[in-house]
Amino acid sequence: MECLHNHKQGAEILTEHLAGTLDREREAELERHTRDCPDCRRLLEVWDRLDEFPAPALSEDFDQRLYARIANETRMPWWRRVWLPTATIWRPLWRPVVPVAAACAVLVLALLVRNPIAPDSVNQLRIEQGGSSEVEQVVQALDDLELLSPVGSEQSGAI
Amino acid sequence: MALDRDPRLGMQRDAPPALERDAELMLRVREGDETSFALLLERHRQPVVHFLYRMVLNQAVSEELAQEVFLRVYRSRATYEPTAKFTTWLFRIATHLALNWIRDGKKEKGQESLNEELLEGVERQVADSTPSIEQELVYQVKLREVRRAVEALPAKQRAAVLMHKYQGLGYSEIARVLRCSESAVKSVLFRAYETLRSRLAHMA
């Protein structure tokens, strides 16, 4: 047998060996190989080595703290109880949205700074849209005044 | 060392029975039975806390995350459907929280020394049963080396190894927790054990 780390099915053989599901023939082959191969022997020994990683005992008030949190949530108004799990579920999705929105805002700002709308063009536009009608109104008003002025006043003025 | 679950049993327990005990309990919790929730907590709090401790290497944080796991289970009781094994769901929540915690870099500088102190506490507890001071010292060195080797694994590899070795989860269950294929799990585990072998080679 080839060394497990060079073997095409190395992962399969190791995991099946650890699960105790490797067929007899292959198990015997692996055993023979590991007798002469220290690397593969050590690989199989890692499983036992990991026994030397204990975890500390649980705090005595673990349940008490958990039930206090549950009671606290139960006392919450109904809308917060509905919102809380929803917010927790959606939080990972919202996380990337904030930087994307910030990047968009910066981009828009940069575009505005680079291509500002010139004030002259605004005035020009205003004149084009409404300026002509103002002139017309003034002319019209002068004409009206002329019409309303008493007939013959020009003549009296001339006197 | 007593493991959290018998790994050999776990590996052959991939096919769930018609309705497993945990799922039955959870369905009762859905109906408002608080005692069933207490039973679920009793059955799973230690494996969950131990898994999280080995992931984040901080006792206070592991308990805080474990509380969040059970809180989420409780919150989801109304919508619970036994579509997968209860432990798959439980460890998916735990793994998700642990990976997020690691990713967000919540590990503060001061925690390292605290972890060392806690580790020494654990070592002392375990070492009390060893017969001589010399053996105790050798054992403490071994514990430290193994812990550091596991700690140095990439987070997903670490999660896979911890579920495989200490929680006794089967390959298909680990695959469902990590949302990948069974063959990917085997490959991740192989890479992780290979890395551990090279890091722990001097201990042979």
In chain A, helix, strand, coil percent, each to 5? 75, 0, 25
Q: DSSP character for A54?
A: -
CATH number of B7-203: 1.10.1740.10
**ipTM value for the complex:** 0.77
For chain A, the structural domain boundaries read: 10-49, 62-114
Residues B10 and B8: their CA atoms lie apart, in Å, by 5
Average pLDDT over residues B120-124: 52
Number of H helices, E strands in chain B: 10, 0
CA–CA distances in Å: residue A5 to residues A30, A98, B62, B131, B192: 13, 44, 34, 38, 12
Where does residue B57 fall: left (phi above 0), alpha (psi -120 to 50 degrees), or beta otherwise? left
- Is residue B28 within 8 A of residue B19, CB to CB? The reply is no
| Cβ contact, residue pair B201, A42, below 8 Å | yes
- Is residue B14 within 8 A of residue B173, CB to CB? The reply is yes
For chain B, the structural domain boundaries read: 7-203
- Give me the pLDDT at residue B119, please: 53
- pLDDT digits over B124-151, tens only? 555 555 568 887 888 888 888 899 999 9
Average pLDDT, chain A: 74
Chain B residues closer than 8 Å to A20 by CB: 8, 11-12
Residue found under tokens 């002139």: A135
- pLDDT digits over B8-64, tens only? 444 444 545 556 899 999 999 999 999 999 999 999 999 999 999 999 999 999 999
Chain B residues closer than 8 Å to A45 by CB: 197, 204
CA–CA distances in Å: residue A131 to residues A117, A118, A135, A144: 20, 18, 7, 20
Average pLDDT over residues B178-194: 93
Nearest by CB to residue B194, choosing from A43, A50, A88, is A43
Confidence of residue A158 (pLDDT cuts 50, 70, 90): very low
What's the residue count for chain A? 159
* For testing contact with chain B, the best of A16, A49, A69 (most B CBs within 10 A): A49
